[in-house]
Structure 1
Amino acid sequence: MLDLGGPRIRTLLALLTANAGRVTSVGTMVEALWGPQSPPDAQRTVRSYISRLRRALTVDRLIVTHPAGYVLRLEPYVVDARRFERLVETGRDALCAGRPADAAEQLSLALTLWRGEAYGEFTATPALRAEAARLEGLRLGAVEDRVDADLATGAGVSLVEELTGLTDRHPGRERLWGQLMTALYRAGRQAEALDAYLRARTLLVDRFGLDPSPRLSEIHQQVLDNDAQLFGVPLAAPSEPARDDLPGDVADFAGREAELILLEAARATGRPAVVIQAIDGMAGVGKTTLVVHAAHRFAADYHDRLFIDLHGHASNQPPVTAMAALDALLRALGVPPDRIPQDPDARAALWRAELATRSVLVVLDNAADAAQVRPLLPGTSRSLTLITSRRRLVDLDATQVVSLDVLPEADAVALFTSVAGGDRADCPVHEVVALCGHLPLAIRIAAARLRARPAWTVGYLAERLRQAHSPLTEFAAGDRSVAAAFALSYEHLGAPQRRVFRLLGVHPGPDFDAYATAALAGVDLPEAERLLESLVDDHLLQEPAPGRYRFHDLVRQHAHAVALTDEPEPLRHKALRRVVDYYLHTAHNGSRLLDQQHPPITVDPADCVPHPLPDSAAAMAWFDANHRCVLAARTAAEDAGWDTVVWQLAWSLDNFHYRRGHLHDNIASWQVGLVAAERLGDLAVQARAHRRLGLVYAPLGRDAEALLHLRRSLVLAEQVGDTLGRAGAHLVLALALTWQQDDHGVLAHLTRARDLYHRIGNTQWEVRALSMMGASYTRLGHHARARRFCESALTLCLRHNDVYGQADTLDSLGAIAANTGDHHQALHHYGRALALWRDLDNTYRQAGTLAALGDTHRDLGEREQARQCWQEAIDLYRRQNLHLAADRIAQRSQ
């Protein structure tokens, strides 16, 4: 016996055991332990309890942490409840197969596992009370099955006492009354059998408002008629003909093999537990098609097949209520209307009772939410329930959820070809399904339109989709429309969700997070997170990575169209400006963290909260995640005529672009930044833009353009009296001339830059000029002088904690050591520089230092080490699209 401590930790273990093999969320645990009035630190207390349980249980990895909560990993035979369910299933299979003796043995073994009430100590906990009620229902069903097995082997007299007690305790179980009447009749007590029927009928009418079922009335008549069949016919044999309400299967079904395998595996491993599978996904993704196809595949294993459309997302009628759905389902099973109770709980109980001895496949299509379908779920292991919904039914208990994504390319092509006809397929099919977003509904409509128009080719269809002013209009045929399907999902949202959905349609980037959404919608961060998650649950947004959200391409088009029609233009304009300002302010703050020596700019306050960036590592992570969004914000600002924002975004991206080697993106940013500055007439900004363009053009081998921009920058800086800008222009001119191997010209510009930096007291940039002078002197053969410059520069960098300057100077010292034949010292300096570049996450400079390391290893005769360094440098340059630099290194390794 384990000594676990207080009742809460015992309740927690009971909850984990009840869900053995399945995830129990922390929220479920908190609700179970404290109810709705949980303390603020409840989640932390739960984690503390889990730690104590792990120590007490001693078995490694018995309780496993899962992103959604915790899982108790137990083999099925360890838990009595699971052993019971497995034995019951085996017994029922034997009974159905006509082996009553085997059935009685297995069912009796199952029932011996019971020792009092299930979870008796814990039934005050709602979750465990529900599990106990489920198990009690299974136990009663197992008792009834065992009695049927005994009756099928000829028993009668021996069962009378047991059945009398059972009917006293469970007067609403008609099957027990029928069994008691049969046992009494077999014992020669015909009058008592008839009296049992009268008592059963009176109880059913007075207490439950129900008339006896046709089966119980049939047994009554058999007793009256002295029917010999009561001596040998099992009572569980179904007398009604099979019911099959499934819609026809789709002839051109394609793909979804992985999902079908998953559904089949759940059916196999789920037994003897109730198997409930929910399939969710965005509009048009093929949920109903998959479920109907799966239902036809599994149909032979079930006596009855029921289908009901719950109209969770319908334009012309409200969702079907649970009461109405139960009425339809019970009638489908042959229950007379006058036996269907008006009380919701009684109606749901009758539904579960009807399924208790049946093998039924139930399809609940187009569910609105979990509350709608929860009363429709069976309580017996003989049934399979398949549910479809556009909304994630995360709060539906005992359910396996399969979220459908769009089709993989091969399956999308197969579907298009199947619908359009194989003779119509040609090369552009891959492009067409891509333009359809691999969405099955869009693919079916596009293929059907092609099939209906013999003059069209696949290439012509692809061109129509590419050139369409409103692409969604191309995905409509007859009463099928992708836009209409999306519109239904949109209409079923609450007002706040609809507003943020359409505003996200004007978001300029390919994806977004909660901070950007908060700025766009003008709401606080918790509200933005709540709205985003609700749209994910409704499959109107995707969450490809934690905290990052995006639209499916066609849904984005719909969101943009809805924004144009439903959101007034002034409000759209304000929302766009808020989110552009968010990207500007966050990028500006991030750029300052990446290089605090970078000449600053002043950004006007804005009505937004920037993303918090505590350090340079956080800044780089934010830029990596949001780079395309910031570029898109710059384009949006350019289109809107916000010229100041355009050049400020170019400035804010500059440091990141340099660290990551995104030189082509930097050129594009500064080109539009220069045009914006020219429209503003701001000469100082123009000088800055020319200087940055020159810096980027030089390593790309575009020397003439680099020098043209840099000389123009120098002229403009002198014109406006910008000494810092003049110094910067000279420094960058020196860098450009370095690529041309003009070290005399380099030194002339560096000397001028150093003097200007010294004049204005800018020690950090003076140090960098000194470091570059050292590198230039060593290339000219003046190694001692070069070393003095660099050592002085390194001392100043260390004094001012200038990490970037340290790395730059160590590179220069490495070059000096290599040029003087001290290759081991060169390796030391380059190694320290590389470590600093990696700390700074500057992949552009890492590549240059790795190339120099490779050269030094080569000079030492260490060819393998040299090859490794060169290859790493080549890979870094290629990832940054700097193929000229990569090719130069590749030539060394040949």
Structure 2
Amino acid sequence: MGTGNGKGLDVGGDGPRFHVLGPLEVRLRDRVLDLGGTRIRTLLALLTADAGRVTSVGTLVEALWGADAPRDAHRTVRTYVSRLRHSLAPADELITTHPAGYVLRVGPDAVDAARFEALVASGRDAADPATAAERFALALAVWRGDAYAEFADIPRLRAEAARLTGLRLGAVEDRVEAELATGAGRTLVEELTELTDRHPGHDRLWGQLMTALYRAGRQADALYAFAKARAVLAERFGLDPSPRLVEVHRRVLANDDRLTAPPAPTAVPVRAERSCPARNDLPGDIADFAGRKGELARLLDSGHGTVPTAMVIEALDGMAGVGKTTLAVHAAHRLAEHYPDGQLFLDLHGHTPSQVPVTPMAALDLLLRALGVPGERIPADQDARAALWRAELAGRSVLVLLDNAADAAQVRPLLPGTARSLTLITSRRRLVDLETARILSLDVLPEADAVALFTGVVGDERADAEPDAVREVVERCGHLPLAIRIAAARLRSRQAWTVRYLADRLVEAGSPLTELSAGDRSVAAAFALSYQRLETAQRRLFRLLGVHPGPDIDVPAAAALAAVDRAEAGRLLEGLVDDHLVQQPVTGRYRLHDLVRRHAHTVALAEEPEAERERALRRVVDFYLHTAYAGSRLLDQQHPAIDLGEPAAGCVPDSPPDDAAAMAWFDTNHRCVLAARAVVEEIGWDTAVWQLAWTLDNFHYRRGHLHDNIASWRAGLAAAERLGNVAVQARAHRRLGLVYAPLGRQHEALLHLRRSLALSERIGDTLGQAGVHFILALAWTHEEDDQRALTHATSARNLYREVGDTRWEVRALSMMGSCHTRLGHHGEARGYCESALVLGLEQGDVYGQADSLDNLGAIAARTGDRVQALRHYGEALDHWSHLDNTYRQAATLTAIGDAHTDPDLARAAWRRSAALYRERNLDEAAARVESRLTRPAVTTAMTNPARGWSTRS
């Protein structure tokens, strides 16, 4: 909650005081102000929740009216603010106007929620437990009821209320902890019994209850409390007791003196305490630890390898649930013997439900006391405390595990000053600004380790009986250790379930997070904590990434998605990478782990207004559409132009500078553009559906993505039919006929081509008719009916000449030469192909030149001139390579192999050809080429690589 930046009005003393921890009230000199009706009260509550920060007018409108906002809602908000200022008079200057909205400017003591948080922080910074307990009690006394209770139907205020309620429970736990540290026990039993009933998922409360019962002389009841906690955690949440709770249980069983009331502080000198046994605060090790061999080896080597000459600090980071603490604790137990003066563990609560992060002051107090420094020797100044901490460690060999750090600033004062000690740090945030640390970033587990972890939790017998189901479960869990542990724990506690049943539940749930969400230690809760720590702009981009349709994203697309400039988009994405909510698999590309993506989508649905989600989707779809269109025009400038209109506001498309850059962009973003096409098809943006099919067409041709092209044009055809756009229908049929022919689906190809011809004739599209005849020539070529193919190729050539399309006249001439070649009319064939080559050279048409050279190669091969054939094929291959046309490269390589008399050279060409076909998923074509590898080289080359398909017809 914001409390201003120090520049607001000081409302201490006689100023108004805002009460939200109970019924909303504003008091001025012990008088409760009349705030007005429900909407004005809601407006004030929103301003108070954002005190010191701008509350946008849009946020106020959404909260006050939702989808039913009147047209003049913004004007009405101004009226409400004016009335509210009047109610707050004479302090009406508290509410100031900002270009984006309004700001409630108050001092740090004006809002009860801020006073509560300040008192909690002071309790955690207290020098001794008694003072801490007193301050926590004062903080809790601020509450008069439930926070923002009357505004439960306002999502923003509901979320703020949940945050404050969580902090309240954390303060209760901290107060109990402080009272236990002063020696309390019996007096806390009743309160803790009620708290564990109300909050059964908080194992800290269970540990406190067990300690209080033990101190009250009720050891058996303490053991029963542990049994109850274990049963509740398993049945309700699918979890095991935490290592810390297990440790309390062990101490109860052992009548450990550490559970008794601590003795009063004495004046024993710190150095005298060196003779005491070394302290070990490490949580219990994980019995079913699995994987992480490389990471563990690095940690063990850094802890007891060569004699260190500088501080050894290992910072482990990674996304929520990736197993940072598990690895750090496991390594610490293995390293403990090398640090005989103690092993200290401190949870810094950087990402803990219902807890604010431990301040460096409070952390230093705890660490110094753990070393045996009496409270009266601990300075009140943070720098002095840090200096004393370093001095105490100077002559000791101690392992310090700082778990769950919020950021580098939190841990920097806690670092030792010498090389004798080892510091292990875990954090969800990448601590790149912790200069002295070695960074170890953890990823999810490989499949074998994920399976081993699952098996270790559920037991070998059940896992080994259904290995396929086990692999499916860990895959559904995204190989994330926390998700795997929760799924396995649920299975272990339900003997009637099989692994297959669990796997099916994860599938049927739609989102595995539904099944893996169980209380505040669930996967979704872990992600939510990381999300809540983000700055406002990062949270917005994270939500919008849940709207983005593709598997990954780059900075320009993210800028369009969020309607920000590219520098800001890059900054936000890198920040999300540092917080391990976004991954960066390669430079410049960003993606979300599958479970994180589902969480982002869920958060977007909950927090992002539907209208803004739609605008974000429109911007990113327009980014892909307009960028793909610009690239497609570079791939074939003869491609017919279409009018895309202007991109959505906030969208700045890319403009590839040349053909090669366009192909590179398509290669990188192809799946994103396909995903965008699928999304717009699903939501009914029909114009965008066929436009995306149109813009993908040239790239699909160049790369031989026949099946993707079929899917795109089938969707485009359906969209054009819904829109009644006959011209697009004709093109869709034409392109489908073109793609079906080389796949051997001749009947479907001819149906589409005849329909395209009829539609083109109906609207008088001569160029479209020419294109259909050209593709019909190709189709009949695949059927080896060269006479029919020649008839259609001739019709195409005549129509192209009629409309003055010289480039496509080149292609038609080349096709006519190809048909004459196969009919045995070699003289006519050579004449047509040479004419096509001359025209292609005149026009600078590289594609037409390559096509003509391919056909001249086929003529030379059929007439027995293999040397000339290889020369023509080689020149054609160079052109296809220059065009990055892998489909035609494969066909020409097949022809080169057929023309070679050297078996080794022939097989090398065929292997290259088959590989290119395989890369395009054209397995039948690859198989036909590979069949040549098992027989002697042919004696007469019969291949005609021109049996290809066109880019634009």
Q: SS of the counterpart of 2:496?
A: coil
Q: Tell me, in whole angstroms, the C-alpha distance in 2 between the residues paired with 1:774 and 1:265.
A: 72
User: Pick from 626, 631, 639: which aligns with 2:669?
Assistant: 626
Q: Does 1:407 align with 2:445?
A: yes
Aligned with residue 760 of structure 1, among 785, 794, 803 = 803
Output one character per residue of 1:187-232: Cα deviation in whole Å (capped at 9) or x when no partner: xxxxxxxxxxxxxxxxxxxxxxxx998267x7xxxxxxxxxxxxxx
Match of 2:530 in 1: 489
1:56 is matched with which residue?
Answer: none
Task: State the TM-score, normalizing by the size of structure 2.
Answer: 0.68
- Counterpart position of 1:330: 368
Secondary structure of the 2:298 match is helix
Alignment-derived partner of residue 798 in structure 1: 841
- Equivalence for 1:668: 711
Matched residue, 1:528: 569
Q: Work out which of the residue numbers 262, 269, 278 in structure 2 matches 1:214.
A: 269
Q: Which residue of 1 aligns with 2:333?
A: 296
Tell me if the contact between 2:393 and 2:421 (Cα under 8 Å) persists in the aligned partners: yes
Any gaps of 5 or more consecutive residues in structure 2?
A: 1-265, 935-953
Q: What CA distance in whole angstroms lies between the structure 2 residues aligned with 1:572 and 1:311?
A: 33
Rounded Cα–Cα distance in structure 1 between residues aligned with 2:924 and 2:429: 51
In structure 2, C-alpha distance between the alignment counterparts of 1:886 and 1:215, rounded to whole Å:
79
In the other structure, the counterpart of 2:294 is 258
Q: 1:727 to 1:741 in 2, by over 3 A?
A: same
Aligned residue for 2:639? 598
Find the counterpart in structure 2 of residue 579 from structure 1.
Answer: 620
User: Could you tell me how far apart the structure 2 residues matched to 1:487 and 1:596 are?
Assistant: 49
**Counterpart code for 1:704:** H
Structure 1, unaligned runs of 5 or more: 1-210, 219-236
Q: Is the 8 A contact 1:787 1:816 kept in 2?
A: yes
Which residue of structure 2 aligns with residue 423 of structure 1?
461
Deviation at 1:587, TM superposition (A): 0.8
Amino acid across the alignment from 2:738: L
Task: Report the RMSD for the aligned CA atoms in angstroms.
Answer: 1.4
| Secondary structure of 1:893 counterpart | helix
The answer to whether structure 1 residue 243 and structure 2 residue 279 are counterparts is yes
Per-residue deviation, residues 231-256 of structure 1 (Å, max 9, x unmatched): xxxxxx94332111111111111111
Return the match for 1:284 from 310, 317, 321.
321
* 2:641 counterpart letter in structure 1: P
3-state SS, counterpart of residue 387 of structure 1: strand
- Alpha carbons 1:827, 1:856 under 8 Å: kept: yes
SS at match of 2:443: coil
- Bigger mean CA offset, 799-808 vs 496-505: 799-808
3-state DSSP class of the match of 2:280?
coil
Shift of 1:337: 1.2
Q: How far apart, CA to CA, are the structure 2 residues paired with 1:482 and 1:888?
A: 50
Give, in whole Å, the separation in 2 of the partners of 1:596 and 1:522: 31
DSSP-derived class of the 1:730 partner: helix
Taking structure 1 as reference, are residues 215 and 734 closer, same or farther at Cα in structure 2, changes over 3 Å only? closer
> Does 1:563 pair with 2:604?
yes
Deviations 1:82-116 (A, max 9, x none): xxxxxxxxxxxxxxxxxxxxxxxxxxxxxxxxxxx
Alignment of 1:323-402 (within 5 A): 323-402=361-440
CA separation in 2, counterparts of 1:213 and 1:846? 85
Q: Distance in 2 between matches of 1:765 and 1:504?
A: 43
Task: Pick the structure with greater CA Rg.
Answer: 1
2:393 maps to a residue whose letter is L
* Percent pairwise identity: 69
Conservation of the 8 A alpha-carbon contact between 2:310 and 2:418: yes
Looking at structure 2, the residues matched to 573 and 772 of structure 1 have their Cα atoms a distance apart, in angstroms, of 47
Aligned match of 1:448: 489
Q: Could you tell me which amino acid in structure 2 is paired with residue 585 of structure 1?
A: H
Does the 8 A contact of 1:409 with 1:433 survive in 2? yes
Residue 785 of structure 2 is aligned with which of 720, 742, 745?
742
Shift of 1:471: 2.1
SS of residue matched to 2:585 = strand
- Between the aligned partners of 1:391 and 1:747, the Cα distance in structure 2 is 67
Q: Which has the higher mean CA deviation after the structures are superposed, 847-856 or 329-338? A: 329-338
Q: 2:515 is matched with which residue?
A: 474
Q: Which has the higher contact order (CA 8 A, sep 6+)?
A: 2
Q: Which residue of 1 is the match for residue 308 of structure 2?
A: 271
**Residue 543 of structure 1: aligned partner:** 584
Question: Who is 2:915 aligned against?
Answer: 875
1:517 aligns with 2:558: yes
CA distance in 1, matches of 2:598, 2:515: 12
Deviations 1:640-696 (A, max 9, x none): 211111011011111111111110110010001000010011111100000000000
| CA distance in 2 between partners of 1:567 and 1:471 (Å) | 22
Q: What residue identity is the alignment partner of 1:752?
A: S
SS in 1 for 2:590: strand
Report the Cα distance in structure 1 between the residues aligned to 2:373 and 2:276, rounded to whole angstroms.
Answer: 11
Shift of residue 599, structure 1, vs aligned partner: 2.1
1:508 is matched with which residue? 549
d(CA) in 2 for partners of 1:842 and 1:263?
49
Q: 1:113-135: CA deviations, max 9, x gaps?
A: xxxxxxxxxxxxxxxxxxxxxxx
Write out the 4+ residue segments of structure 1 that deviate beyond 4 Å after TM superposition: none
> Which sits farther off after the overlay, 862-871 or 260-269?
260-269
Do the aligned partners of residues 759 and 478 (structure 1) sit closer, same or farther apart at CA in structure 2, a change above 3 Å counting? closer
Partner SS for 1:362: strand
Please tell me whether residue 691 in structure 1 is matched to residue 756 in structure 2. no
C-alpha distance in 1, partners of 2:297/2:764? 73
Offset at residue 473 of structure 1 (A): 1.7
**In structure 1, what residue type is equivalent to 2:443?**
D
Matched letter for residue 748 of structure 2: E
For 1:886, the equivalent position in structure 2 comes to 926
Aligned to 1:649: 692
Q: How far apart are the structure 2 equivalents of 1:215 and 1:465?
A: 56
Check the 8 A contact 2:519/2:525 in 1, yes or no.
Answer: no
In the alignment, the residues of structure 2 paired with residue 247 and residue 261 of structure 1 have an alpha-carbon distance, to the nearest angstrom, of: 21
Equivalent AA in structure 2 for residue 283 of structure 1 = A
Other-structure match for 2:814: 771
Mean Cα deviation higher: 324-333 or 473-482: 473-482
Q: In 1, distance between residues paired with 2:510 and 2:876?
A: 53
Preserved contact between residue 270 and residue 372 of structure 2 (Cα < 8 Å) = no
Seen in structure 2, the aligned counterparts of structure 1 residues 215 and 362 have a Cα distance that, compared at 3 Å, is: closer
Separation in structure 1 between the aligned mates of residue 439 and residue 521 of structure 2, nearest angstrom: 27
Q: 1:694–1:706: 8 Å Cα contact kept in structure 2?
A: yes
Q: 1:638 maps to which residue?
A: 681
Distance (whole Å) between structure 1 residues aligned to residue 676 and residue 270 of structure 2: 72
- 2:866 is aligned, of 818, 823, 828, to 823
- Residues in 2 aligned to 1:337 and 1:402: alpha-carbon distance in whole angstroms: 35
2:476 to 425, 428, 435: 435
Measure, in 2, the Cα distance between the counterparts of 1:260 and 1:523: 41
Report Cα offsets for 1:339-397 as digits up to 9, x if no partner.
11122221111111110000000001000000110111111111000000000000101
Cα distance in 2, alignment partners of residues 702 and 806 from structure 1: 29
Aligned 8 A contact 1:850 1:870 in 2: yes
Q: TM-score, normalised by structure 1?
A: 0.73
Counterpart Cα distance in 1 of 2:899 and 2:268: 93
